[in-house]
Amino acid sequence: MLNNFSIEYKIRFYLVIGVFAVSTAAILIKLSSEAHPLAIAFYRMFISVLVFVIIALIYRHRRLDDINVFTVNNNQVVRIIISSLGLAMHFWFWVWSLSFTSVASSVLLVTTNPFIVLLFSWIIWSHPIRLKMIIGMFIGLIGGSIIIFGDSHNTNNITGDLLALLGSLCIVPYVLCGRSLRKDMHILTYNLYVYGLATIFLFILIILFQIELFNLSLYTYFMLFLVALIPQVIGHSLLNWVLGYASAVLVTISVMAEPIIATILAGIILDEIPTLYWYLGGFLILLGIYLSISEFEKDFIDNDT
């Protein structure tokens, strides 16, 4: 009983810190705009991998337990590949979207993935799809359409909105496979291999598209370091830890706070003020997400953990 309470407390605390950390990503990416979107995504993952390699080496040297964090089982390889590919493509499309549209629209649209997570949770884990969820998805669809309509006067904004939606779609295999892997995989092992393969996938794209990685200002390199440290090493990694104890649906509903926090930060730091369409559409999207997955609140800590 005490152990369950301790885990629940950690989950809540790590979710708060993790969500706030990932909410800074869009701002830091905008401040790194001298670099190409693929370069930003690559550096974010590459620096993160370096950090976790160092942590893993220290972990192994001190022999904190009998687990070898550099070892994976054969039955985990395919899920690691799918998860890392989804993460790489998510970052590519989403970082790219910020070159065209506002932080408010991009972050809000990229966090619409709970609707897709729900569908796949039903397919993979047989979670029931209830009327309340269908209504929520419909409301969310209306909200997204309102935001895109509000941005329709600007072709660049529309392009950014669509890229953000693609980023939302790509994050789904990362979340679902991550939930499956974290049930029996150490957090360091998961971060090392998923982040590492995502870095390789992004590097292949950089070679294919001949993207410049160097000759950037020191300011940009510092911003890229912060992009890796705060939203990735701290934010995503805390959320990955939570995935080992709580459902993917819980994580996605918690991330509903990200567009709100990011929009506030964008207003303060970048002087980006959302339009009336964003407020209306954003309210409907968040309401739709809440209605769709509120049925899963009882899964705060899974019975099998």
Q: What is the pLDDT of residues 209-255, one digit of tens each?
A: 999 999 999 999 999 999 999 999 999 888 878 877 776 667 767 77
* Percent above pLDDT 90 for the chain: 44
Given a cut of 50, is residue 298 above it in pLDDT? no
Residue 123 maps to a domain: yes
Instruction: Please tell me the pTM assigned to this model.
Output: 0.85
pLDDT in tens, 127-175: 667 777 778 878 888 988 898 888 888 888 999 999 999 999 998 888 7
Residue 66 DSSP label: S
Given a cut of 50, is residue 28 above it in pLDDT? yes
Chain centroid to Cα 288, Å, comes to 19
Token reading at 137: 């998805």
Would you call 50 helix, strand, or coil by DSSP?
A: helix
Residue 304 maps to a domain: no
Given a cut of 80, is residue 1 above it in pLDDT? no
Residue 72 maps to a domain: yes
* Range with lowest mean pLDDT among 6-10, 110-114, 247-251, 289-293: 247-251
> Mean per-residue pLDDT for 52-64?
79
| Residue whose token pair is 């994050």 | 171
Please give the tally of structural domains in the chain.
1
Residue 219 maps to a domain: yes
Residue 305 maps to a domain: no
Amino acid letter, 113: N
Residue 143 maps to a domain: yes
Q: Give the C-alpha distances (Å, rounded to integers) separating 143 from 149, 210, 246, 288.
A: 10, 38, 28, 8
Q: Nearest 5 degrees, angle CA 248-CA 109-CA 166?
A: 80
In the chain, how many H helices and how many E strands? 14, 0
Q: Domain residues for 171?
A: 2-299
